Amino acid sequence: MQADPRGVLTGVHFIDGDHACCEGALAAGARFAAGYPITPSTEVVERFAARIPTVGGTFIQMEDELAASIAILGAVWGGAKAFTVTSGPGFSLMMEHIGFAAMTETPCVFVNVQRGGPSTGLPTLPAQADMMQARWGSHGDYEIIALSPNSPQECFDLTIKAFNLAEQYRTPVMFMMDECVGHMTEKVVIPRPEDIEIYPRRLTRKPPSEYKPYEPAEDLVPEMAHAGNGYRFHVTGLTHDERGYPAMNAATQDRLVRRLKEKIRAAEDRLTFVDEDGVEDAQVIVVSYGITSRVAERAIEMARQKGVKTGRCRLIGIWPFPEKRIRALAQRARAFVVPEINLGQIAREVERAAGGHARTISVTHAGGGVHRPEDIFEAIMEAAR
Amino acid sequence: MQLTEIRTAGFGGQGVILSAMIIGKAASIYEDRHATLTQSFGPEARGGASSAQVVLSDRPIAYPYVTAPDVLIVMSQEAYTRFAPELKDNGILIVEEDLVRISQLKPTVRVYGVPATRLAEELGRRMVLNVVMVGFFAAVTGLVSPDALRRAVVDSVPPATRDLNLRAFDKGYEYGLAKVSTPVEETEQASMELE
């Protein structure tokens, strides 16, 4: 399916990541957003609020992030594509409804423009310390999809991807920006609507008498029905059977929760999004994401000038974690260097996936700025020794 | 990779960010080069020192931050004091000469002064001083073409103020052309006098 031209601002723009994310959402077909303003994410919904009257849709500034995150789920079940936008403290408040979205298989997008935490932390300064929260923040077992852009252009492109993946896998998708990428301005090329591929909602073609709201298709994802078209459906956060009725017993729980996990886990190959360079014969591979991947580029260049064969594996998709890819790279390289603006979150995932075949060196930063390229460079040199 | 690093700095409210935005937009959209603009957010963005960084390149830009600017455009004393030490040895300093007193500057830095606020006032609106500075920057550095910058000005300001801003750009540009056509000794003399 192609993009609805009303939402596509075709042309060449010089805009920041927050604004580009908004344009990506509009191009993807988002016609509903609810939010509660919070630095450094506010510009996304600010632009959405300004643009949506001419595109056709709704923006609501809610009383808080709990309200914003449940309003979008209502909008999705009402037929819209919807998203909300926040940063650390707001993301914490949204956890309840991220779990509700995972359990009810509600396709939607949560944008988190990360700032320093915990708590109110550093409102205007960057961090990448919500990566594990994006994965594990809500209670219970579920899988999640998370993407991390490193430029305004990717904020546009990957927001569309986020919406498409949400529809395809019927899951909330976490769009993990950071303050640097959100507030960085670069050229953003927005294609023509006919060149933007949109994954449509998986609406059932079965007659109402045969439709079961949580009956999985071959890829384990169930089909949705349009409210008001005569289909019976029931949306509940309680453990439910294929009809959507609460069925609180171990057998139903086992079937449901394993499927929620498996529908994403089984698609790992299709959900592995990495940007690699020079990994084939690398001694050391730098694994990074978001703004840190751009700081790391300078360190990689410095190390290569010193004769160290240094590869780049930039994670565009963070969750599901690209385990198979990292495991394969671990067979070749001597070590991974993992810089990130937190005290070592994704580094442990890399270490786990490497399974002892390659060393993992975590280059931490507590937030409030970016790494000095020299710090990453030194870790590369240490790894090569 | 040839990178050109530019920093604009001044008070909040002087249009510091917009001036950087015009330069970045002109290079990236109208000259089809690469430009990355970053800015400092925070309490300082409202009132105190405001600053934006632009990196220009013919190739994609990985590391987006300015480490030692080739060009520093300053519109306040505070910004001068804070950012002048970062300038490259052979860098270019562009100052609002009525607002900035130059001291303790590396002797190899080339200095160009413009009374941007006064020139803007002559046009009837003091607020266009930032666009006067951009016009002046175009003339003295030649880093971005005046044509691309004029188009970026048109794109970046409210429609009702387009003509005013274009006049501001031209005023700064012409002032700059006159300045660079004078012999270097005189320019240096002028900057000495500023001290």
**Residue ranges of chain A whose CB lies within 8 Å of a chain B CB:** 12-14, 16, 39-40, 124-125, 179-180, 183-187, 291, 294-295, 297-298, 370, 373
Give per-residue pLDDT as tens, B120-170: 999 999 999 999 999 999 999 999 999 999 999 999 999 999 999 999 999
Based on the domain organization, do A19 and A148 belong to the same domain?
yes
In a domain, A237, yes or no: no
B85 pLDDT band, cuts 50/70/90, is: very high
- By Cβ distance, the residue of A12, A179, A184 closest to B64 is A184
Give per-residue pLDDT as tens, A241-293: 999 999 999 999 999 999 999 999 999 999 999 999 999 999 999 999 999 99
Based on the domain organization, do A167 and A306 belong to the same domain?
no
CA–CA distance, B116 with B94 (Å, rounded to integer): 11
In a domain, A246, yes or no: no
Residue of A nearest to B25 (CA): A14
pLDDT at A273: 98
Domain count, chain A: 2
Closest chain A C-alpha to B113 CA, distance in angstroms: 28
Closest chain B C-alpha to A303 CA, distance in angstroms: 15
Give the residue numbers spanning the domain of A335.
Answer: 274-384
Based on the domain organization, do A191 and A309 belong to the same domain?
no
B12 pLDDT band, cuts 50/70/90, is: confident
Domain count, chain B: 1
pLDDT at B47: 58
Based on the domain organization, do A58 and A158 belong to the same domain?
yes
Residues of A in contact with B63 (CB under 8 A): 294-295, 297-298, 373
Q: How many residues does chain A have?
A: 385
Closest chain A C-alpha to B181 CA, distance in angstroms: 33
Based on the domain organization, do A280 and A160 belong to the same domain?
no
pLDDT surpassing 80 at residue A308: yes
Residues of A in contact with B41 (CB under 8 A): 39-40, 124-125, 179, 183
pLDDT at A227: 85
Residue partners of B180: CB distance under 8 A and separation at least 6: B112, B139, B140
Residue pair B135/B80 in contact by the 8 Å Cβ criterion: no
Based on the domain organization, do A173 and A78 belong to the same domain?
yes
Domain of A148, CATH number, reads 3.40.50.970
Show which of A168, A195, A222 is a domain's final residue.
Answer: A195
Q: What is the mean pLDDT of chain B?
A: 90
Domain of A371, CATH number, reads 3.40.50.920
Q: What is the mean pLDDT of chain A?
A: 97
Based on the domain organization, do A171 and A29 belong to the same domain?
yes
In a domain, A239, yes or no: no
Which stretches does DSSP call E strand in chain A? 11-16, 30-35, 58-61, 81-86, 108-116, 122-126, 145-147, 172-178, 185-190, 274-277, 284-288, 310-315, 317-319, 335-339, 359-363
pLDDT surpassing 80 at residue A157: yes
Based on the domain organization, do A44 and A153 belong to the same domain?
yes
Based on the domain organization, do A19 and A130 belong to the same domain?
yes
Show which of A195, A220, A236 is a domain's final residue.
Answer: A195
In a domain, A232, yes or no: no
CB contact under 8 Å between B41 and A124, yes or no, is yes
Closest chain A C-alpha to B191 CA, distance in angstroms: 34
pLDDT at B45: 47
In a domain, A257, yes or no: no
- By Cβ distance, the residue of B24, B34, B63 closest to A185 is B24
Give per-residue pLDDT as tens, A321-352: 999 999 999 999 999 999 999 999 999 999 99
pLDDT at B50: 86
Show which of A195, A216, A234 is a domain's final residue.
Answer: A195
Domain of B85, CATH number, reads 3.40.920.10
Mutate to test the interface with A, among B41, B66, B154, B156 (most CBs of A within 10 A): B41
- The mean per-residue pLDDT over the stretch A86-109 comes to 98
Residue partners of A379: CB distance under 8 A and separation at least 6: A337, A339, A361, A363
Give the residue numbers spanning the domain of B64.
Answer: 3-194
